[in-house]
């Protein structure tokens, strides 16, 4: 049997991280088992659905790399099939026409509330209606809904996450499957579409648990095979409350705009409710696919921990090759007006070494752009705090040091080892720690208090730039 799963978002908003996690688990399950990942857009809520939302969702899935094998199918295209299924149930006596008006239903609800009883009005109505009357009233054009006649008994399934699940059918209302305007409802449409698309496994959020017995009963009544269900636990905010914007961005698109690496986001989402076991957390691409299994999906809810995301982002930058980071960084540098694509291509080897040097300190692409700034500008920007701290506290010795280093930088081979020797040798002569010399030097060549290792930084800046920057620093300190 080929495993066929689906992601079925409603295009009523952006792609929420919870939805993305559902999509990812389905995708991983399909890829792990060599199955098929179907994308279905559930656009039956006409008022809230829009093509713009669909586009936002598709674009977020593409960014995450969750490619689909079939679709996108649009649920609204199946309306005739859904209606035919409802009529089939009606003919088979598994559904009935309900002429209760919205007003009557509201009144009955109020009354039931007053009595503290459970509302089972539609079922009673159906029983009370004399034979043939429903057909006559329908033929006369009286507005009515079609309700599924929920059978007696209980509905049991073996959930991929929660194991055995049991629902008493008596607790399930006879659900409307076709509204009085002829439109199918969610549970009917999903059941019919899952059968039509030969879905074998339905992996989705816990919030759908109460729909599952209804969909199982509908499948059985319609003679469809019942898919295997797996309900993935909720994602909570760091305070244990339902995840909301208070906890940070909830739209996948926002993380894309922040310049996160999609691989880090995918890794983070995968760990929301799943663990490969042991201490393993950082997983890249194929490794996630290989290790993923529904058996290791946790029953308890997971915490959306932005600190963990930040850490994973750093790990993924570390693990990425310069070549992999190059396209996004080039775009960022062009956008920031720091370099053109052509300039970077002309000295590509240098550029790739620069990325290798900087990537261990970045969490996002904009971080990387900022780290690259001192290497690409003509005019250095100075961080005032760095200047105060490392230059202005003892300006005279700093001036002396920078002048001495400038002279010593004229001759050595321009590579990290040789530069390290010069700098450490000079610090020894002064009988000070190397840091004492390195901090003011770093401010002079980068304008900042922190940077990657200074020897590599000097090497990549090149002798000419370093000498010019030292001259400028000497002038500034002298004329102070």
Which residues are marked as active site? 245
Stretch that binds ligand GLU, among 8-16, 164-172, 270-278, 462-470 (CB under 6 A): 8-16
Sheet with 145-148: list strands edge to edge. Answer: 95-98, 145-148, 176-178
* Contact between 174 and ligand GLU per CB under 6 A: no
At closest approach, how far in Å is the CB of 20 from ligand GLU?
12
**Nearest to ligand GLU of 233, 395 (CB atom):** 233
Q: Estimate to the nearest angstrom the gap between the alpha carbon of 438 and the chain centroid.
A: 41
How many residues of this chain bind ligand GLU (CB under 6 A)? 7
Question: Are 412 and 433 within 8 A, CB to CB?
Answer: no
Stretch that binds ligand GLU, among 7-15, 244-252, 309-317, 373-381 (CB under 6 A): 7-15
Query: CA-CA distance, 259 to 263, in Å (whole number)?
Result: 12
Backbone phi, psi, residue 157, to 5°:
-145, 160
Q: Judging by DSSP bridges, how do beta strands 145-148 and 95-98 pair with one another?
A: antiparallel
Q: Could you say which of 137, 198, 208, 373 contacts ligand GLU (CB under 6 A)? A: 208
* Contact between 175 and ligand GLU per CB under 6 A: no
Q: Which residues of 46-72 are buried (b: 16+ CB within 10 A; e: fewer)?
A: eeebeeebbebbbebbebbebebeebb
* Contact between 32 and ligand GLU per CB under 6 A: no
**Nearest to ligand GLU of 214, 442 (CB atom):** 214
Number of helices (H), then strands (E), belonging to the chain: the values are 22, 12
At closest approach, how far in Å is the CB of 40 from ligand GLU?
8
Q: Could you say which of 4, 5, 10, 27 contacts ligand GLU (CB under 6 A)? A: 10
Stretch that binds ligand GLU, among 6-14, 270-278, 328-336, 470-478 (CB under 6 A): 6-14
Stretch that binds ligand GLU, among 5-13, 83-91, 324-332, 378-386 (CB under 6 A): 5-13
At closest approach, how far in Å is the CB of 29 from ligand GLU?
14
Question: Are 157 and 226 within 8 A, CB to CB?
Answer: yes
* Contact between 214 and ligand GLU per CB under 6 A: no
* Contact between 199 and ligand GLU per CB under 6 A: no
Joined together, the tokens standing for residue 202 give: 């339905």
Joined together, the tokens standing for residue 114 give: 């007053």
**Nearest to ligand GLU of 230, 259 (CB atom):** 230
CB-based contacts of 268, cutoff 8 Å, min separation 6: 308, 309, 312
**Residue 284 burial (CB count, 10 A):** 15
At closest approach, how far in Å is the CB of 175 from ligand GLU?
15
CB-based contacts of 285, cutoff 8 Å, min separation 6: 65, 263
At closest approach, how far in Å is the CB of 461 from ligand GLU?
52
Instruction: Please provide the distance, in angstroms rounded to a whole number, between the alpha carbons at the two ends of the chain.
Output: 79
* Contact between 405 and ligand GLU per CB under 6 A: no
**Residue 106 burial (CB count, 10 A):** 11
Q: Could you say which of 146, 175, 190, 473 contacts ligand GLU (CB under 6 A)? A: 190
At closest approach, how far in Å is the CB of 239 from ligand GLU?
24
* Contact between 9 and ligand GLU per CB under 6 A: yes
Q: Could you say which of 42, 98, 174, 367 contacts ligand GLU (CB under 6 A)? A: 42
Backbone phi, psi, residue 364, to 5°:
-140, 165
* Contact between 315 and ligand GLU per CB under 6 A: no
Residues near ligand GLU (CB under 6 A): 8-10, 42, 190, 204, 208
């Amino acid at each position: 049997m080929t495993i066929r799963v689906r992601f079925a978002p409603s295009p009523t908003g952006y792609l929420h991280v919870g939805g993305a996690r559902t999509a990812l688990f389905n995708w991983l399950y399909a890829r792990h088992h060599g199955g098929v990942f179907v994308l279905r857009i559930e656009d039956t809520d006409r008022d809230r659905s829009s093509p713009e939302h669909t586009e936002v969702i598709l674009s977020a899935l593409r960014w995450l790399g969750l490619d689909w094998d079939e679709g996108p199918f649009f649920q609204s295209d199946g309306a005739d099939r859904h209606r035919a299924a409802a009529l089939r149930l009606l003919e088979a006596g598994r559904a009935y026409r309900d002429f209760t008006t919205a007003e009557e239903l509201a009144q009955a609800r109020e009354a039931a509330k007053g009595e503290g009883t459970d509302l089972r009005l539609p079922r009673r109505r159906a029983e009370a209606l004399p034979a043939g009357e429903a057909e006559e009233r329908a033929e006369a054009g009286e507005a009515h809904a079609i309700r599924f006649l929920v059978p007696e008994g209980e509905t049991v399934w073996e959930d991929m996450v929660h194991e055995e699940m049991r629902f008493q059918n008596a607790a399930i209302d006879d659900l409307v499957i076709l509204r009085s305007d002829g439109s199918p409802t969610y549970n009917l449409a999903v059941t019919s579409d899952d059968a039509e698309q030969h879905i074998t496994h339905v992996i989705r959020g816990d919030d759908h648990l109460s729909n599952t017995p209804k969909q199982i009963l509908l499948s059985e009544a319609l003679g469809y095979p019942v898919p295997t269900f797996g309900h993935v636990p909720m994602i909570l905010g760091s305070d244990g409350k339902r995840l909301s914007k208070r906890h940070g961005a909830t739209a996948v698109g926002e993380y894309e705009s922040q310049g996160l690496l999609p691989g880090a986001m995918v890794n983070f989402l995968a760990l929301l409710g799943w663990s490969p076991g042991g201490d393993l957390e950082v997983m890249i691409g194929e490794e996630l696919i290989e290790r993923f299994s529904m058996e290791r999906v946790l029953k308890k809810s997971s915490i959306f921990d932005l600190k963990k995301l930040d850490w994973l982002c750093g790990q993924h930058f570390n693990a990425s090759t310069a070549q992999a980071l190059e396209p996004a960084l080039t775009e960022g540098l062009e956008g920031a007006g720091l370099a053109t694509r052509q300039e970077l291509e002309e000295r590509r080897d240098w550029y790739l070494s620069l990325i290798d040097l900087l990537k261990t300190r970045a969490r996002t692409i904009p971080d990387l752009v900022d780290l690259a700034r001192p290497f690409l500008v003509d005019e250095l920007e100075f961080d005032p705090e760095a200047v105060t701290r490392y230059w202005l506290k003892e300006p005279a010795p700093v001036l002396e040091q920078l002048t001495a280093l400038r002279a010593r930088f004229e001759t050595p081979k321009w590579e990290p080892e040789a530069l390290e020797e010069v700098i450490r040798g000079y610090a020894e002569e002064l009988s000070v720690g190397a840091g004492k010399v390195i901090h003011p030097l770093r401010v002079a060549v980068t304008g900042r208090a922190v940077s990657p290792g200074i020897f590599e930084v000097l090497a990549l800046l090149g002798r000419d730039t370093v000498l010019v920057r030292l001259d400028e620093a000497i002038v500034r300190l002298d004329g102070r």
